Amino acid sequence: MSALWTVWRKEMLEAVRSRRLLGVTATLFVFGAASPLLARLTPQILQLLPGAEAFAALVPEPSLADAVAQYLKNQSQFGILLAILTSMGAVVQEKERGTAAMVLCKPLPRWAFIAGKFMAIGASFLLALAVGAVAGYYYSEVLFGGLGLGRWLAANVLLLTWLLVHAAMTLLFSTLGRSQLVAGGGGFGMLAVLGLLGSVPGLQRWLPAALLGWAARLCLGGGGPAWPALVVSLALTFLSLIGACVALERQEI
Amino acid sequence: MEQAIRCEGLSKAFGRTRALQGLELAVPAGAVFGFLGPNGAGKTTTMRLLAGLARPSAGSAWICGQKVRAGSREIARLVGYLPEEPAFYGWMRPREFLDYVARLFGFGPAERQRRVEMVLETVGLQDVAGRRISGLSRGMRQRLGLAQALVHGPRVLLLDEPASALDPIGRREILEFIRALAPDCTVFFSTHILADVERICDQVAVIANGRLVVQARTEELLRRYALPVFEVEVEPGQGVALQRWLQELGAAGWLLGVSHAADGNSARILCREVSEARQALIAGLAQASLPITRLELVRPSLEEVFVRLVQGEADK
């Protein structure tokens, strides 16, 4: 286990030194804080835009539902971009640069190399999303009120789970691929494939994206949980990580 | 004698390319062992196989009696490996990187600190231990590479071209250091700088085209394979005349080859047989009236033996 924590510690240090952690946290903070503000101020902004005053009257009175929808939309869109971008180089870049050969000839189990990296990605997004969630909760409460803290937290956990599914799949491509481009392409490709599968009737409730709908329902009440989507998400994450470990174990560095 | 490294029929193919073909090698414990071969001979492939970074297509290798398996942690504890171009995390500092490596070996905080400071001092990087690795010169990185291979006190050190990036003073220091590691640690190192091998190696192996050409003690190799070499030196300014005369010698039956010194005033003449060559050289020099300052039968260099062995393998 000490090797796992050693890799995790090194990855976190790298995330801090490279300012990757700062970038991810700042992005999710900005959109976490801005989402309720934008939901609240959209009518006023439209009124201030020359020629758009007429549209302002058509915009319904903003509500907490708008703030939550805006928050989940922004955090999921920017979060998924960051999750794929930060995961795509995790393994393949180390192989390209030769650092993987330097450390994998030490008594470092290859599963710990993968797991340490995933744990660091998870920790980075946990921190960044927590900061964004605090900002989003504060402004939602100030501007609209009525957002339950427990439900808000649970919704953010679902959002984090969804992001980590894609981070794990991209990590698998980063292990299998020969370049960051291939790994990134694989990550975005899986996003597209899962998006297309979502259009198949009856399949959507099984897909990770259903977690976002569950998150919205949690915050606003109404509708039930999406347990199948959660099970599939956890299974996809687990299988992607196992796949990455097995692939790295078989590879020559 | 205990063997530190043993290879039996070790082979490695990359598609149709056979990088290593049935390598048989035995490296005695405590030796400083030079592993020589031209580019593409299979030296780095052998190193990677021994370090557990690659899998053999056939055959096996053992280190201190333990069978080498890719990713084996037992082998990793026995071996210190320095690749030809060591790579580091540029954002780390040398001290941090060595601490990271020591953590991977599971050392506690006090032991880590002791080992890190010791190897930093050993390779002469104490002054730059707090600088970012990305700002270090190639020579400093090479020293850091050596330090990371040593931090756990390995029984076998695999060094792929360890001194190639160092300046002459740095090279001498590192070679002296490598020499001092024996007999507690077996050093198996590849290099293109044959003078380094002559300076510090007890034994050498020469490989070409993925096959072992010869393995012997350095002195024995020189004795067994070396052909006589005469060194002839003329007065300054007579280099052109010397070269012209050497060209005229070209067809002589006793002559195997000629190499000129950088100053042009001397040359090494590789011969088939001493007495015939001596007679022909003395007579020829007298006839050409070259103002010689020295004519000497010298000890052949490892480089000459190496070239002869490798060319012989290529001609097969």
Q: What is the per-residue pLDDT across B268-299, written as a single tens digit (0 to 9) for each?
A: 888 877 888 888 888 888 888 888 898 888 77
Examine the pLDDT at A213 and tell me if it is beyond 70.
Answer: yes
Is the CB of B101 less than 8 angstroms away from the CB of A103?
A: yes
Residue A94 DSSP code: H
Does residue B233 share a domain with residue B189? no
Instruction: Report the distance separating Cα A184 and Cα A163, nearest Å.
Output: 15
Interchain pair A106, B76: CB under 8 A = yes
Q: Is B81 on the interface with A (CB under 8 A)?
A: yes
Both B35 and B138 in one domain: the answer is yes
Of the listed ranges A213-217, B140-144, B178-182, B300-304, the one predicted with least confidence: B300-304
Cα dihedral across residues B171, B173, B178, B179: positive or negative = positive
In a domain, A94, yes or no: yes
Tell me the C-alpha distance between A145 and A24, whole Å.
Answer: 27
Q: Does residue A1 sit at the B interface (CB-CB below 8 Å)?
A: no
Report whether A39 contacts A67 (CB < 8 A): yes
Residues B145 and B263 in one domain: no
Radius of gyration of chain A (CA): 20
The domain tally of chain A equals: 1
Share of chain B above pLDDT 90, in %: 48
What residue ranges in B73-120 does DSSP mark as E strands?
79-82
Q: What is the mean pLDDT of residues B80-107?
A: 96
Q: Domains in chain B: how many in total?
A: 2
Query: B168 and B103, same structural domain?
Result: yes
pLDDT in tens, B148-185: 999 999 999 999 988 877 888 888 888 888 888 888 99
- Residue B129 maps to a domain: yes
Residue A47 lies in a domain: no
First and final C-alpha spacing in chain B: 33
**Residue of chain A minimizing CA distance to B89:** A99
Q: What is the pLDDT of residue A94?
A: 97
CB B161 within 8 A of CB B192: yes
B255, part of any domain: yes
Q: How far apart are CA B94 and CA B143, in angstroms?
A: 10
| Residue A99 in contact with partner chain B when CB distance is under 8 A | yes
Cβ-contact A198, A142 below 8 angstroms: no
Q: Are residues B109 and B26 in the same domain?
A: yes
Task: Say if A116 falls within a structural domain.
Answer: yes
**What is the layout of strands, in order, in the sheet containing B255-260?**
B255-260, B266-271, B229-234, B292-298
* Cβ–Cβ gap B87/A98 under 8 Å: yes
Say what percent of chain A tops pLDDT 70: 99
Is the pLDDT score of B21 beyond 70? yes
* Of the partner residues A6, A18, A102, the one whose CB lies closest to the CB of residue B87: A102
All residues at 6 or more sequence positions from A97 whose CB lies less than 8 Å from its CB, including other chains: B87
Alpha-carbon Rg of chain B, whole angstroms?
A: 23
Domain containing B39 — which CATH number?
3.40.50.300
Establish if B304 belongs to a structural domain.
no
Confidence (pLDDT) at A46: 78
Q: Is A153 inside any structural domain? A: yes
Residues B105, A106: C-beta atoms closer than 8 Å: yes
Contact B89 A99 (CB under 8 A): yes
Question: Do A103 and B51 make contact, defined as CB atoms within 8 angstroms?
Answer: no
Chain B residues in contact with A2 (beta carbon < 8 A): 103, 106
Last residue within a domain, chosen from B222, B256, B282: B222
The reply to whether B121 and B263 lie within a common domain is no
Domain membership flag for residue A57:
no
Q: What is the pLDDT of residue B239?
A: 85
- Decide if B315 is inside a domain: no
In the predicted model, what is the mean pLDDT of residues A243-247? 97
Q: What is the pLDDT of residue B109?
A: 96
Which domain, by its residues, includes A113? Answer: 2-33+64-250
Range of lowest pLDDT (A147-151, A215-219, B37-41): B37-41
The answer to whether position A44 is within a domain reads no
* Domain co-membership, B71 together with B96: yes
Q: What are phi and psi of B47, to 5 degrees?
A: -60, -45
Contact A110 B71 (CB under 8 A): yes
Who among B53, B83, B88 is closest to A252 (CB)? Answer: B53
Q: How confident is the model at residue A210 (pLDDT cuts 50, 70, 90)?
A: very high
Looking at the fold, whether B262 and B140 belong to one and the same domain comes out as no
Q: State pLDDT tens for residues A119-158.
A: 999 999 999 999 999 999 999 999 998 888 999 999 999 9
Regarding whether B198 and B77 lie in a shared domain, the answer is yes
Query: Residue B256: which domain range?
Result: 227-298
pTM summary value: 0.85
Where are the strands (E) in A116-214, listed by range? none
